[in-house]
């Protein structure tokens, strides 16, 4: 310790403390507790929601997702930054819209990126899909819209028979062939690869498109079945009734209040609340009244109880 430090700390009660030893002891205790709990309680191993599983088990839901993207009617199409330039749709609170500050950093055109590009890969191996894709591209915008609208409506009356989706007869143009091409791609387990493949690298580390593909309906249904939606403390517990990351409770608790459960800007509001909360904690030593709470609560007297006991004993000895 330097002379300046010794002078500054003169008169301040101190006692020896081996920080490294105490840290290692606590690390060992916590590690032992975690290992024992992991062995005894375990944790549910919920399978990942894959395109292959959805295409095989819920083909109609798969096709509805595809045609929503294809028709441009998905929520993603008008999401706003960082995916689309619809700045009016960005979450805002108190006139602040942070997403607009950074703009479109990951541009996505739903019909092209989520359906057309995967279909172009399928068309390389499937002549029927290639021909249907050519017919669709050469058709007018009105025809394309009419075909996809009719097909989307028909899916509400569709049935699954022998692993195939049967829809009522109608004027759908090449859309059924294209959607079946997407369904076959999903059943083959190649959907995620078609969405994330890169023309510049032999591998990809960005799975954004694959994660966005089912986020509107399929993932919501899975979350519903597992009681893991935001208004059910979703991110703070595991599948079923298993405990989860309790340290996220201060964040998740805000989604349980009625004024935020259905708010379109809930994520932004909760984020701003948590930023204010951490700023408050950071500046507590400089805020009047709050910076006196430790003294009023008196927990420090429990921590330093041996020193206070020595001081009390010394005081009694002086009186004698």
User: Would you write out the chain's pLDDT as a tens digit for each of its 320 residues?
Assistant: 567 777 777 777 777 778 899 899 999 999 999 899 888 877 666 777 888 999 998 999 999 999 999 988 888 888 888 898 888 888 888 888 898 998 888 888 989 999 999 999 999 999 999 999 999 999 999 999 999 999 999 999 999 988 788 999 889 999 999 999 999 999 999 998 888 865 555 666 778 888 889 887 888 887 777 777 777 777 777 776 666 778 888 888 888 888 888 888 888 999 999 999 999 989 988 999 988 988 899 888 888 888 888 888 888 887 76
CB 80 within 8 A of CB 87: yes
Q: Could you identify the residue written with the tokens 């991110």? A: 235
Report how far residue 235's alpha carbon sits from residue 251's, in angstroms, rounded to the nearest whole number: 10
Report how far residue 314's alpha carbon sits from residue 318's, in angstroms, rounded to the nearest whole number: 6
Q: Helix axis angle, 175-187 relative to 141-155, nearest 10°?
A: 60
Name the residue among 103, 104, 107, 79 with its Cα closest to residue 91: 79
Give the containing element (helix H, strand E) for 25.
helix 19-41
pLDDT for position 31: 96
Q: Where are the domains of the chain?
A: 12-42+284-319, 51-213, 226-282
Contacts of 62 (CB under 8 A, 6+ apart): 51, 54, 55, 182, 183, 186, 218
Q: Residue 308 burial by CB count (10 A; 0-12/13-18/19+): exposed, middle or buried?
A: middle
Name the residue among 86, 81, 84 with its Cα closest to residue 101: 81
Token couple for 241? 């009734």
Q: How far is CA 124 from CA 118, 137, 203, in A?
A: 10, 16, 20
pLDDT for position 179: 95
Q: How far is CA 132 from CA 110, 129, 251, 297, in A?
A: 19, 5, 49, 75
pLDDT for position 225: 74
pLDDT for position 118: 93
Predicted TM-score (pTM) of this structure:
0.72
């Amino acid at each position: 310790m330097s002379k300046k430090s010794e002078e500054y700390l003169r008169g301040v009660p101190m006692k020896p403390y081996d920080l490294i030893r105490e840290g290692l002891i606590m690390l060992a205790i916590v590690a032992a507790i975690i290992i024992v709990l992991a062995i005894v309680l375990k944790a549910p191993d919920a399978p990942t929601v894959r395109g292959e599983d959805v295409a095989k088990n819920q083909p109609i839901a798969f096709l509805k997702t595809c045609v929503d993207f294809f028709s441009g009617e998905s929520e993603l199409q008008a999401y706003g930054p960082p995916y689309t330039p619809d700045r009016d749709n960005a979450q805002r609170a108190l006139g602040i819209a942070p997403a607009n500050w950074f703009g479109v950093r990951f541009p996505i055109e739903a019909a092209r990126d989520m359906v057309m590009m995967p279909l172009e890969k399928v068309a390389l191996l499937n002549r029927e899909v290639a021909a249907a894709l050519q017919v669709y591209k050469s058709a007018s915008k009105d025809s394309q819209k009419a075909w996809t609208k009719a097909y989307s409506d028909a899916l509400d009356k569709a049935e699954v028979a022998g692993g195939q989706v049967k829809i009522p007869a109608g004027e759908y143009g090449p859309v059924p062939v294209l959607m079946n091409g997407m369904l076959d791609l999903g059943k083959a387990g190649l959907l995620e690869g078609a969405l994330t493949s890169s023309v510049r690298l032999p591998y990809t580390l960005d799975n954004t498109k694959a994660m966005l593909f089912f986020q509107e309906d399929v993932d919501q249904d899975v979350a519903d079945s597992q009681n893991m939606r935001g208004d059910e403390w979703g991110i703070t517990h595991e599948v079923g009734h298993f405990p989860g990351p309790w340290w996220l409770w201060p964040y998740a608790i805000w989604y349980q209040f009625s004024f935020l459960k259905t708010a379109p800007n809930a994520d932004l509001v909760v984020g701003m609340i948590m930023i204010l909360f951490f700023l408050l904690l950071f500046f507590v030593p400089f805020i009047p009244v709050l910076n006196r709470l430790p003294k009023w609560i008196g927990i420090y007297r429990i921590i330093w109880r041996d020193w206070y006991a020595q001081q009390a004993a010394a005081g009694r000895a002086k009186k004698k």
